[in-house]
């Protein structure tokens, strides 16, 4: 809201410079975002931002009241009319049919308006605050709204049928033409002001076209009322209509301001519109009362919250400056009366905040709490996460942060999204799933980077995946590490040729993480995922618990994301990994006796699985085989069609003695023979 | 003495002609020039030589020593040791670097901020992102008709939960589970249905902090948070405490840091509202606390001069690899 400092001067004396006052207000919680200088007429505008608990600051008088408290200076009240009208408007009546929506409604009939020209000072002040002058009566209602914060509405009295004002809920299917020219269909819960026939205003939000005042208007009915904040807000939001009125009503206006605003408007109308007749005020309902009218406060409560001792006399002074009625029981103990414009003050803590604000946050000393140390162990999950992050970033992968909300693109609704959590009110078209997998998120990342010219995109993300099964009430969030590799493994150098990344590179990353977490005794199994190419999916398990899965992204998805080269994708459940990983790892002594190395190069049929060969070899080691490692794998060359050549390096070593070359050779030959028989393997002569 | 020198020289010449390996040349060097080498022995005897001959003998010894050293070096150059490159190392060429990965800047920022609070004794904890209305609103003293509960401001799930719009939910979870004293911080993702632009995103990161015991005060809040900001932004940083409003703290405060010519809001905080203690079952008459919250993106943007929040979620490798 814009506040004119010239206008403020009607109520408080502003000791220059005004920038200092702006700063004082800001440091008291009434934030002045900007000071703006105007010329013709010269003025300074404060752009203020209020917090939702202080709607009483939404007017010049309200801001002046705060300045008076902060600066400890006198506050003048707005000039009001004593409301001399004695005769009630003949035949007029007000009826409230929805007291929940409108507890208090007042009005006055004004007839025989002769002047329509708005005085310059009102035009200028409205303009400074961003409101265009329209018509004297409308200008006066706007002026009062900006001055004391009470929204008013003036109807053309001759257009109100039946001299009747009814405050009621809208009727089924009722339509309403607004001042702004549009027509809306009212909701059942909307509160309207109606005459004997039809709605004439959307209560607290906007007036109606049919009863709008014009330059022909001679007689007006002036409304000043209190509308329920929640109801106004709902109507305003539902119809997407925000007005200066609705803005204030939905934040709650001061019930006393209903009368004050009306009196102030009458005074201005009397003076500038020169009407022939002003009726007595007619009213319906009761002013809402504060639920809490007094609060007990003790000085020691103030000290224990703020950590600073403020003298009781100073506390009483501060509360008094804020317009609260302070009564001392005994030294350091008060009963504090709360004025109608401060419904936010209901508990001692609310008063303590007020005291701190005016005392000045800057005057409260800074201290450091010295305490016994509490539990300082770091969460094992965070430790594991950090390990994984360092491991993968050290291996050349970049960590990403992508949105947890995804669209259905690329996923199967019957498989992937079957147990996914769905959002009722998605923001963007389609983004209504809490992702059960990060595969599509990382495909997006790869696509973006490829489009930007990257030829290698190694990325990972550590975030939650989400799911809910039919038996569960609350969704499950699983901390997951997703890895995706695309393009070149490493850039070409004069020493190394470039090569494409493969599924084995990805598997290596996963294995390294599992090993690093201390997981042993892992096994693998083929799995199927809707987004993996047939036959490429694999799951890594510890006993029965799946820890990770990986595979090559299907061609269909690559097409969707317009990618030319394969994408390899893995997910590791950090949650499950953590459950498997030992807290500390015991040291293992390595054998002291020398090792003997032997290579074994075999040609086998394509369908023979390398892992089976390795387990077979291991099983025959008789405790003397320490390591088996695949060091070469190739096809073509001298290898027959449909076959592949695998070359293993085997390290023989005993923990108890030095092995003799002969016995190793015997064992090695026996293993080789077994493989030849069992897997129809043949030796590759080198 | 001179005879001895010339005899050694002659024998050395013969030995040298027979040397055929790097090992042999080393053995040869040790035999003549080592600590107990034959030529070294002669140097040791130089003291016993009559003064008038000393100069000439010394010169002769040095000549032979230089010849031997040169011969050894020459042999080594002609016969490089196994594995040593015969190519010259060009120190002007760049090295071949290991692959360049990175940890996301938001994560680095979270770790840095958490680290500061961890060192002050605050423990990092986490809570779920899919939450209940109780944890996200009710327990935080946010009234039933508060606008932030609207579908305009909060994402809801079809199962009746919501996506937390603030990490303050973790305060509630921890207080419901544990008894005071508490010192925790809780980083994590939060969600609000804001249209994405240069300064908004429907998902972002916050860090929530909470300290609860029987005597912590607003002045402790000021001390702890000022220390934090000095650690993060440097001891010269100017800050101000400005009253504000949050439903779950009272008194509430926003903390601004001086940035260029103006002030920038960086932290929201306050003493824990007694209603929150009621909600979690703490005795509000004996328990005191303060809480604070900050936006990770905002801090990272400020510190690194990033103008557009979307950089964080676009994950361009050219962005990721800068940090």
pLDDT, average across residues A256-272: 94
The domain of B72 spans 2-78
Q: Are residues B194 and B308 in the same domain?
A: yes
Give backbone dihedrals phi and psi of B276, rounded to 5 degrees, phi first. Answer: -65, -40
B111 contacts A386? CB cut-off 8 A: yes
Q: Are residues B148 and B268 in the same domain?
A: yes
Residue in A closest to B103 by C-alpha: A399
Domains and CATH numbers, chain A: 2-71 (3.30.56.10), 93-285 (3.50.40.10), 294-362 (3.30.56.10), 380-580 (3.30.930.10), 596-683 (3.30.70.380)
Which residue among B61, B78, B95 closes a domain?
Answer: B78
Is a pLDDT exceeding 80 seen at residue A81?
A: no
Residue in A closest to B239 by C-alpha: A362
* Of residues A676, A600, A594, A653, the one with CA closest to residue A631: A600
Is a pLDDT exceeding 70 seen at residue A571?
A: yes
Name the residue with tokens 């009814």. Answer: A166
pLDDT, average across residues B150-173: 92
CA pair distance B213, A59, nearest whole angstrom: 41
High-pLDDT (> 90) share of chain A, %: 78
Q: Are residues B26 and B136 in the same domain?
A: no
High-pLDDT (> 70) share of chain B, %: 98
pLDDT, average across residues B136-162: 88
CA pair distance A362, A358, nearest whole angstrom: 10
Residue in A closest to B247 by C-alpha: A53
Residue in B closest to A467 by C-alpha: B130
Going by DSSP bridges, is the β-strand pair B239-246/B203-213 parallel, antiparallel, or unpaired?
unpaired
Read off the pLDDT of residues A41-78 as tens digits, 9 standing for 90 and up.
Answer: 889 999 999 998 999 999 999 999 999 999 999 999 99
Q: Which residues of A touch B320 (CB under 8 A)?
A: 398-400
Helix, coil or strand: residue A313: helix
pLDDT, average across residues B216-226: 97
Q: Are residues B31 and B71 in the same domain?
A: yes
Q: pLDDT value at position B87?
A: 64
pLDDT, average across residues A177-199: 92
B245 contacts A54? CB cut-off 8 A: yes
A379 touches chain B (CB under 8 A): yes
Q: Which residues of A touch B100 (CB under 8 A)?
A: 396
B245 contacts A51? CB cut-off 8 A: yes
Q: Are residues B204 and B276 in the same domain?
A: yes
Residue A59 zone, left/alpha/beta (φ > 0; ψ -120 to 50; rest): beta
Distance from CA of B278 to the nearest CA of A (A): 14
Q: Are residues B68 and B217 in the same domain?
A: no
Q: Are residues B49 and B109 in the same domain?
A: no
Domain-located, residue B262? yes
Read off the pLDDT of residues A440-481 as tens digits, 9 standing for 90 and up.
Answer: 999 999 999 999 999 999 999 999 999 998 787 889 999 999
A396 contacts B315? CB cut-off 8 A: no
* Of residues A642, A617, A643, A619, the one with CA closest to residue A628: A617
Q: Which residues of B touch A350 (CB under 8 A)?
A: 250
Domain-located, residue B50? yes
The neighbour count for residue B225, using CB atoms within 10 Å, is: 22
Q: Are residues B131 and B271 in the same domain?
A: yes
Domain-located, residue B220? yes
A69 touches chain B (CB under 8 A): no
Give the count of domains, chain B: 2
Q: Which residues of B touch A364 (CB under 8 A)?
A: 218-219, 222, 241
B151 contacts A424? CB cut-off 8 A: yes
Q: pLDDT value at position B15?
A: 86
CA pair distance A253, B202, nearest whole angstrom: 32
A426 contacts B98? CB cut-off 8 A: no
B189 contacts A399? CB cut-off 8 A: no
Q: Which of A395, A403, A477 sits opposite B128 (nearest CB)?
A: A477
Q: What is the dihedral of CA A274, A275, A278, A282, to 10 degrees?
A: -110
Q: Which residues of B touch A485 (CB under 8 A)?
A: none
Q: Which of residues 193-252 of A touch B (CB under 8 A)?
A: 229-230, 233, 237
Q: Which residues of A touch B106 (CB under 8 A)?
A: 401
Q: Are residues B234 and B301 in the same domain?
A: yes
Q: Which of B161, B219, B313 sits opposite A475 (nearest CB)?
A: B161
Token readout for B269 is 């905080």
CB neighbour burial string for A216-240, b if at least 16 within 10 angstroms, e if fewer: ebebbbbbbbbbbbbbbbbbbbebe
Is a pLDDT exceeding 70 seen at residue A684?
A: no
CA pair distance A112, A217, nearest whole angstrom: 9
Q: Which residues of B touch A445 (CB under 8 A)?
A: 315
Q: Which residues of B touch A26 (CB under 8 A)?
A: 242
Any idea which of A206-215, A675-684, B121-130 has the lowest mean pLDDT?
A675-684
Q: pLDDT value at position A686?
A: 46
Single pTM value for the model: 0.85
- Asked if A617 and A628 count as a contact pair (C-beta separation under 8 A), the reply is yes
Q: Are residues B154 and B290 in the same domain?
A: yes
Distance from CA of A229 to the nearest CA of B (A): 9
CA pair distance A640, A668, nearest whole angstrom: 25
Q: Which of B124, B161, B251 to mutate to test the interface with A (most CBs of A within 10 A)?
A: B251
Q: Which of residues 177-216 of B touch A (CB under 8 A)?
A: 181-183, 189, 191, 193-196, 202-203, 211, 213, 215-216
Q: Are residues B73 and B172 in the same domain?
A: no
CB pairs under 8 A between A and B: 237
Q: Which of residues 276-305 of B touch A (CB under 8 A)?
A: 288
pLDDT band at A360 (very low <50, low <70, confident <90, very high): very high
Q: Which of residues 413-472 of A touch B (CB under 8 A)?
A: 421-428, 434, 445, 448-449, 452, 454, 457-459, 463-464, 466, 468
Distance from CA of B318 to the nearest CA of A (A): 9
Distance from CA of A373 to the nearest CA of B (A): 7
Is a pLDDT exceeding 70 seen at residue A635?
A: yes
The neighbour count for residue A618, using CB atoms within 10 Å, is: 13
B145 touches chain A (CB under 8 A): yes
Q: pLDDT value at position B85?
A: 57
Q: Which residues of A touch B316 (CB under 8 A)?
A: 448-449, 452
Q: pLDDT value at position B81?
A: 66
Q: pLDDT value at position A413?
A: 86
Q: Which residues of A touch B288 (CB under 8 A)?
A: 304-305
B108 touches chain A (CB under 8 A): no
Q: Which of B150, B158, B211 sits opposite A424 (nearest CB)?
A: B158
A452 contacts B219? CB cut-off 8 A: no
Q: Are residues B18 and B140 in the same domain?
A: no
CATH code of residue B143: 3.30.930.10
* Of residues B190, B195, B196, the one with CA closest to residue B310: B196
Token readout for A66 is 């705060």
CA pair distance B318, B323, nearest whole angstrom: 10
Query: Where is pLDDT greater, at B253 or B79?
Result: B253
Q: Which residues of B touch A400 (CB under 8 A)?
A: 104, 315, 320
Q: Which of residues 221-240 of B touch A (CB under 8 A)?
A: 222-224, 226-227, 240
CA pair distance A484, A498, nearest whole angstrom: 19
Read off the pLDDT of residues A525-559 as tens digits, 9 standing for 90 and up.
Answer: 999 999 999 999 999 999 889 999 999 999 999 99
Tell me: cis bond preceding A543? Omega within 30 of 0 counts.
no
Mean confidence (pLDDT) of chain A: 92
User: For residue A362, what are the CA distances in angstroms to A27, A28, B222, B241, B287?
Assistant: 8, 10, 9, 7, 25
pLDDT, average across residues A640-658: 91
Read off the pLDDT of residues B81-95 as tens digits, 9 standing for 90 and up.
Answer: 665 555 678 888 888
Q: Which of A252, A390, A427 to mutate to test the interface with B (most CBs of B within 10 A)?
A: A427
Tell me the ipTM for this assembly. Answer: 0.88
Is a pLDDT exceeding 70 seen at residue A94?
A: yes
Q: Which residues of A touch B213 (CB under 8 A)?
A: 369, 371
Any idea which of A53-62, A335-344, B75-84, B174-183 has the lowest mean pLDDT?
B75-84
B157 contacts A398? CB cut-off 8 A: no
A173 touches chain B (CB under 8 A): no
Distance from CA of B319 to the nearest CA of A (A): 10
Domain-located, residue B254? yes
Q: CA gyration radius for chain A?
A: 40
CA pair distance B319, B323, nearest whole angstrom: 8
């Amino acid at each position: 809201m814009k506040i004119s400092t010239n206008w403020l001067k009607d109520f408080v004396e502003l000791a220059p410079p005004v920038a200092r006052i702006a700063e004082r207000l800001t440091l008291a919680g009434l934030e002045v975002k900007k000071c703006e200088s105007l010329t013709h007429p010269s003025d300074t505008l404060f752009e203020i931002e209020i917090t939702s608990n202080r709607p009483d600051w939404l007017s010049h008088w309200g801001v002046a009241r705060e300045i008076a408290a902060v600066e400890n200076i006198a506050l003048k009240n707005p000039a009001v009319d004593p409301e001399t009208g004695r005769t009630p408007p003949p035949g007029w009546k007000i009826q409230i049919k929805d007291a929940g929506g409108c507890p208090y409604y007042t009005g006055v009939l004004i007839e025989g308006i002769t002047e329509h020209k708005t005085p310059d000072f009102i035009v200028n002040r409205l303009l400074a605050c961003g409101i265009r002058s329209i018509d004297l009566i409308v200008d006066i209602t706007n002026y009062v709204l900006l001055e004391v914060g009470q929204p008013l509405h003036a109807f053309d009295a001759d257009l109100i049928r039946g001299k009747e004002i009814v405050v009621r809920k809208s009727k089924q299917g009722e339509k309403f033409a607004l001042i702004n020219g549009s027509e809306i269909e009212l909701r059942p819960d909307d509160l309207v002001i109606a005459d004997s026939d039809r709605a004439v205003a959307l209560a607290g939000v906007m007036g109606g076209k049919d009863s709008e005042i014009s330059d022909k208007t001679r007689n007006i009915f002036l409304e000043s009322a209190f509308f329920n904040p929640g109801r106004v807000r709902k109507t305003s939001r539902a119809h997407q209509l925000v007005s200066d009125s609705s803005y204030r009503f939905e934040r709650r206006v001061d019930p006393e301001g209903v009368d004050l605003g009306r009196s102030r408007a009458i005074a201005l109308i009397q003076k500038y519109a020169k009407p022939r007749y002003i009726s007595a005020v007619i009213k319906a309902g009761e002013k809402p009362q504060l639920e809490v009218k007094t609060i007990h406060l003790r000085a020691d409560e103030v000290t224990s919250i703020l950590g600073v001792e403020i003298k009781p006399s100073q506390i009483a002074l501060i509360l008094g400056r804020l317009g609260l009625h302070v009564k001392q029981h005994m030294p350091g103990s008060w009963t504090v009366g709360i004025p109608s414009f401060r419904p936010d003050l209901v508990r001692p803590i609310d008063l303590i905040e007020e005291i701190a604000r005016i005392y000045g946050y800057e005057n409260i000393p800074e201290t450091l709490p010295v305490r016994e140390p509490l539990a300082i162990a770091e969460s094992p999950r965070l430790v594991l996460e950090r390990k994984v992050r360092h491991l993968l970033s050290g291996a050349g992968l970049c960590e990403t942060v992508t949105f947890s909300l995804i669209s259905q693109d690329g996923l199967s609704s019957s498989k992937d999204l079957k147990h996914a959590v769905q959002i009722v009110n998605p923001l963007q078209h389609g983004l209504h799933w809490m992702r059960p997998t990060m595969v599509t998120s990382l495909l997006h990342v790869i696509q973006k980077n490829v489009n930007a010219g990257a030829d290698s995109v190694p990325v990972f993300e550590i975030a939650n995946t989400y799911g809910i099964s039919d038996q569960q009430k609350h969704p499950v969030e699983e901390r997951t590490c997703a890895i995706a590799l695309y393009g070149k493994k490493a850039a070409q150098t004069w020493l190394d040729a470039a090569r494409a990344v493969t599924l084995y590179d990805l598997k290596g990353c996963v294995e390294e993480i599992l090993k690093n977490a201390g997981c042993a005794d892992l096994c693998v199994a083929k799995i199927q995922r809707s987004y993996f190419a047939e036959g490429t999916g694999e799951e890594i398990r510890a006993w029965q618990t799946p820890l990770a899965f990986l595979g090559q992204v299907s061609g269909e998805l690559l097409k969707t994301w317009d990618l030319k080269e394969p994408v390899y994708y893995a997910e590791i459940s950090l949650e499950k990994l953590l459950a498997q990983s030992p807290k500390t790892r015991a040291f293992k002594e390595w054998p002291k006796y020398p090792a003997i190395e032997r290579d074994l190069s075999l040609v086998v049929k394509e369908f023979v699985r390398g892992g089976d060969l390795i387990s077979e070899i291991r099983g025959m080691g008789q405790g003397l085989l320490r390591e088996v490692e695949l060091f070469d794998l190739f096809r073509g060359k001298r290898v027959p069609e449909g076959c592949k050549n695998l070359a293993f390096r085997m390290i023989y070593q005993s923990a108890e003695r030095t092995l003799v070359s002969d016995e190793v050779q015997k064992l090695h030959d026996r293993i080789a023979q077994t493989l030849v028989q069992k897997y129809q393997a043949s030796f590759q002569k080198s | 003495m001179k005879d001895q020198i010339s005899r050694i020289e002659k024998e050395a010449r013969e030995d040298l002609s027979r040397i055929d390996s790097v090992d042999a040349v080393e053995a040869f060097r040790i035999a003549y020039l080592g600590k107990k080498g034959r030529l070294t022995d002669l140097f040791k005897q130089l003291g016993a030589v009559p003064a008038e001959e000393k100069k000439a003998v010394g010169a002769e010894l040095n000549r032979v020593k230089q010849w031997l050293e040169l011969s050894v070096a020459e042999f080594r150059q002609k016969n490089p040791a196994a594995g040593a490159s015969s190519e010259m190392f060009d120190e002007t060429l760049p090295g071949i670097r290991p692959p360049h990965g990175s940890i996301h800047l938001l994560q680095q920022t979270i770790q840095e901020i958490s680290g500061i609070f961890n060192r002050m004794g605050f423990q990092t904890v986490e809570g779920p992102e899919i939450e209940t209305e109780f944890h996200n609103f009710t327990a935080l003293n946010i009234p039933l008709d508060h606008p932030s509960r609207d579908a305009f401001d909060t994402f809801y799930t079809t199962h009746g939960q919501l996506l937390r719009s603030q990490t303050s939910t973790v305060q509630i979870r921890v207080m419901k589970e544990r008894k005071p004293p508490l010192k925790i911080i809780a980083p994590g993702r939060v969600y609000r249905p804001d249209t994405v632009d240069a300064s908004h995103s429907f998902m972002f990161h916050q860090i929530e902090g909470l300290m609860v015991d029987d005597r912590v005060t607003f002045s402790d809040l000021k001390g702890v948070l000022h220390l934090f900001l000095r650690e993060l932004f440097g001891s010269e940083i100017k800050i101000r405490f400005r009253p504000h409003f949050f439903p779950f703290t009272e008194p509430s405060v926003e903390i601004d840091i001086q940035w260029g010519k103006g002030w920038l809001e960086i932290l929201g905080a306050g003493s824990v509202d007694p209603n929150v203690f009621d909600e979690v079952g703490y005795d509000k008459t004996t328990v005191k606390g303060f809480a604070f919250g900050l936006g990770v993106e905002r801090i990272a943007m400020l510190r690194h001069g990033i103008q557009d929040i979307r950089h964080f979620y676009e994950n361009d490798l050219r962005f990721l690899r800068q940090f």
